Amino acid sequence: MAKLWGGRFQKETDRLVDDFHSSISFDRRLYRYDITGSMAHARMLARAGIIRQQEAEAIINGLQELLEDIEAGRVEFSVAAEDIHMNVEQLLIERIGEVAKKLHTARSRNDQVALDVRMYLRDEIDAVLELLAGLVAALLDLAEKHVHTVMPGYTHLQRAQPVTLAHHLLAYCQMFERDMDRLRDCRRRVNVCPLGAGALAGTTFPLDREFVARELGFDGIAENSLDAVSDRDFAVEFAAAASLIMVHLSRFCEEIILWSSTEFGFIELDDAYSTGSSMMPQKKNPDVAELVRGKSGRVFGDLTALLVMLKGLPLAYNKDMQEDKEALFDAVDTVKKCLLVFRPMVATMRVRADNMARAARGGFTNATDLADYLVRRGVPFREAHAAVGRAVAYCLERGKCLEDLTLEEMRRFSPAAGEDVYQAIGIDRCVAARAVPGGPAPEAVRRAIAAARQRLAAAAPAHAGRSGDK
């Protein structure tokens, strides 16, 4: 097949080269954006008097039919035509003839590919935002049911102080809300129209770039033509935001894996979200959580690939940049798949509140509360800390909890202890007393849930709808 750029060439490209540099196998997923972008370009060319109105109409109608045929699976792309941009152009020429050859006036694949990727990513960011919002909503629903479900909070994976499952879940809500914030912020820089930058230096034709930008739902135009065709910061930003989403999912998965072990016994995963062993009949494995944890590595790899691909590139476009797509697509696909399966896995898990409470009672999670109690009775904190430390050592030797000590035993460690000490170190009391904003007390947690729901509702319209390209 003759190349669209073949004019100055005397030989065919080697078949190895065709295979090597062709990107159609993966950039075909951009077809809808490529075609929508071309339609807006053609419309603008006619408005600016660069092509005739009937020519634009023929091109737009041809593109529309091509789009429908691709969508219906009636179109075969060609490796020899290299990429989605030249495939679309070639197919259009085959279908509507000579007039199609005017479409690429005042345009380069360099500004075209930047356009397509930005339109694609804008939609995908909206899709990921929706998945995140759904996940946060599900976590809030679960949290609401567990405002009183006491569990140990950990540092160094050692039991530290009592919290509630609701409070623990809300910590993840915070992470996912920050992820949403990052995506919205990234979207602002994605949503800038590069078309009109040409190959690198703009074009000699009187383009109406603002018109194209408006037609395609962009907030504005890229201001410098060299930057417009060589900027992939937005892809890096997305991959970084996606990496953090994966970090958060992965940490959560690690806990789900620990919690579902017999040793913890805090939760049981639903059968629909666990798998068995081919050899050991008793096994029920948290494979889904493990796989999400494992897939985080892919996304960090995608981020690294993008950074390394860009770091040595001189301005402006370089073919290295074709490598942006597979990394970006993989990050998008992976993060979406993981979010999709993670939500129902968490929503359906059975919470073993009894085991959580038992664990919270053992392990001296109320030791700080005992020290705080003594402080309220006038003992300096450092002394109270030492006294409780000695009491813990005494209990450990006898296999007791702090609340098992008699008052007489208590007073051996600190004479400041009174009858009311038992009330102060009861586990529910320890949680309820942490009523500081951001703390695990049921009242504070209820307020936090309500505030999160409000933020979610307020944010919804910002990323739902809007897009000139659907």
Q: Is the dihedral of CA 462, 463, 464, 465 positive or negative?
A: positive
Distance of CA 340 to the CA centre of its chain: 11
β partners of residue 154: 159
Binding mask 121-160 for ligand ARG (x = CB under 6 A): ----------------------------------------
β partners of residue 220: 192
Q: What is the DSSP string of 307-325?
A: HHHHHTPPSS--GGGGGHH
Measured at the CA of 379, the angle between CA 377 and CA 382, to 5 degrees, comes to: 140
Choose, from 108, 277, 414, 467, the residue flagged as catalytic.
277
Report the residue number, 23 or 164, with the smaller CB distance to ligand ARG: 23
Q: Please, are residues 292 and 249 in contact by the beta-carbon 8 Å criterion?
A: yes
Measured at the CA of 217, the angle between CA 213 and CA 223, to 5 degrees, comes to: 35
Nearest-angstrom CA–CA distance, 215 and 56: 15
Amino acid identity of residue 384, one-letter, is A
- What's the min distance (Å) between Cβ of 85 and ligand ARG? 6
Half-sphere exposure of 457 (CA within 13 A, CB side): 7
Nearest-angstrom CA–CA distance, 457 and 133: 9
Nearest-angstrom CA–CA distance, 372 and 424: 9
- What's the min distance (Å) between Cβ of 219 and ligand ARG? 24
Span of 71-79, 119-127, 190-198, 317-325 interacting with ligand ARG by CB under 6 A? 317-325
Token duo for residue 321: 């940049």
- What's the min distance (Å) between Cβ of 318 and ligand ARG? 9
Where in 7-36 is the site for ligand ARG (CB under 6 A)? 23, 27
- What's the min distance (Å) between Cβ of 21 and ligand ARG? 8
Residue choice 281, 319, 461, 465 for contact with ligand ARG (CB under 6 A): 319
Residue choice 41, 107, 109, 293 for contact with ligand ARG (CB under 6 A): 109
- What's the min distance (Å) between Cβ of 118 and ligand ARG? 13
User: In 23-47, which positions are buried (b, 16+ CB within 10 angstroms) versus exposed (e)?
Assistant: bbeebbebbbbbbbbbbbbbbbbbe
Report the residue number, 32 or 343, with the smaller CB distance to ligand ARG: 32
Number of residues that bind ligand ARG (CB under 6 A): 10
Choose, from 41, 156, 260, 296, the residue flagged as catalytic.
156
Query: Under the criterion CB under 6 A, does residue 111 sit at the interface with ligand ARG?
Result: no
Nearest-angstrom CA–CA distance, 81 and 90: 8
Nearest-angstrom CA–CA distance, 111 and 260: 51
Query: Under the criterion CB under 6 A, does residue 295 sit at the interface with ligand ARG?
Result: no
Token duo for residue 126: 């909206």
Query: Under the criterion CB under 6 A, does residue 107 sit at the interface with ligand ARG?
Result: no
Residue choice 45, 113, 169, 421 for contact with ligand ARG (CB under 6 A): 113
Nearest-angstrom CA–CA distance, 46 and 105: 11
Q: Please, are residues 212 and 41 in contact by the beta-carbon 8 Å criterion?
A: yes
β partners of residue 155: 158
Query: Under the criterion CB under 6 A, does residue 414 sit at the interface with ligand ARG?
Result: no
Half-sphere exposure of 239 (CA within 13 A, CB side): 25
Report the residue number, 23 or 334, with the smaller CB distance to ligand ARG: 23
Residue 167 known to be catalytic: no
Nearest-angstrom CA–CA distance, 33 and 37: 6
Span of 106-114, 135-143, 267-275, 414-422 interacting with ligand ARG by CB under 6 A? 106-114
Report the residue number, 83 or 179, with the smaller CB distance to ligand ARG: 83
- What's the min distance (Å) between Cβ of 309 and ligand ARG? 11
Report the residue number, 109 or 167, with the smaller CB distance to ligand ARG: 109
Where in 72-91 is the site for ligand ARG (CB under 6 A)? 83
Span of 9-17, 107-115, 398-406, 427-435 interacting with ligand ARG by CB under 6 A? 107-115
Query: Under the criterion CB under 6 A, does residue 343 sit at the interface with ligand ARG?
Result: no
- What's the min distance (Å) between Cβ of 231 and ligand ARG? 13
Residue choice 128, 321, 332, 371 for contact with ligand ARG (CB under 6 A): 321
- What's the min distance (Å) between Cβ of 108 and ligand ARG? 7
Interacting residues with ligand ARG (CB under 6 A)? 23, 27, 83, 109-110, 113, 317, 319, 321-322
Residues designated catalytic: 156, 277
